[in-house]
Amino acid sequence: MTQKRRPSSARWLAEHEADTYVQEARRLGFRSRAVFKLKEIQEKDRILRPGQIVVDLGAAPGGWSQYARPVLGAKGQLFALDILPFEPIPGVDIIVGDFREDAVLLQLESRIGDQSVDVVLSDMAPNVSGIDVADQAGSIHLCELALEFAKAHLKPRGTLIVKIFQGDGFDAYLKEMRAAFETVTIRKPKASRPRSREVYLLARNFRAV
């Protein structure tokens, strides 16, 4: 017996299929529409450059890594991590695991070795439960983990970009980022759906202690 699709699911699917960014991603061979969020930020802020060491957190299905890898050139390195497995990308060191688990974090740290990182990208988001308070808390927790990782591994004057949802905990997190970086800018790329509360915090010039 085929399960009937809920009207809300059918409506989302129809919107998704009609989305110009979804169509453009398919046309260009990118794995997700999210690539255009990073593309817009890169074109405006030039955070990625040849030869950098970059870590991509919450990487699946790989769109951000797919976009970033050619920018970094032959001498650059890109480490990508996600709880979900995804297809390999040439030149990208992929780790499958939950970033909230110490064993997974240690695996990532062992791959990086004693190198300092130029840029940390975090497009991580929790699995949505539909309970706003829980989802917001989960989002902030992932942002906190990304910031802790960046503080431990970024080079002086390094860059962190993190996806965050506006709501409880946002202002406190923004204040924490501003204490660790010289500048923090809020970006809302055109590819972010207008009704979504997501924004990206672009933190530059890490104040290494």
- pLDDT tens per residue across span 82-108: 999 999 999 999 999 998 899 999 999
What is the radius of gyration, based on Cα positions, of the chain? 17
In 3-state terms, what secondary structure has residue 80?
Answer: strand
- pLDDT tens per residue across span 25-71: 888 878 788 999 999 999 999 999 999 999 999 999 999 999 999 99
Whole-prediction pTM: 0.88
123 is annotated as contributing to ligand binding: yes
Residue 135: give the domain boundaries: 36-206
The total number of structural domains in the chain stands at: 1
Give the pair of three-digit tokens for residue 155: 């080079």
In 3-state terms, what secondary structure has residue 67?
Answer: helix
64 is annotated as contributing to ligand binding: yes
pLDDT range class, residue 5, cuts 50, 70, 90: very low
Whichever domain contains 155, its CATH number is 3.40.50.150
12 is annotated as contributing to ligand binding: no
Residue 26 counted as domain residue: no
Residue 6 counted as domain residue: no
Q: How far is CA 12 from CA 6, 63, 128, 173, in A?
A: 10, 21, 15, 31
Residue 2 counted as domain residue: no
pLDDT range class, residue 186, cuts 50, 70, 90: very high
| CA–CA gap between residue 208 and residue 21 (Å, rounded) | 37
User: Which residues are catalytically annotated?
Assistant: 163
DSSP state at residue 129: -
Q: Which of 77, 76, 78, 97 is nearest to 86 (CA)?
A: 97
Report residue 95: phi and psi, to 5°: -125, 130
pLDDT range class, residue 11, cuts 50, 70, 90: low
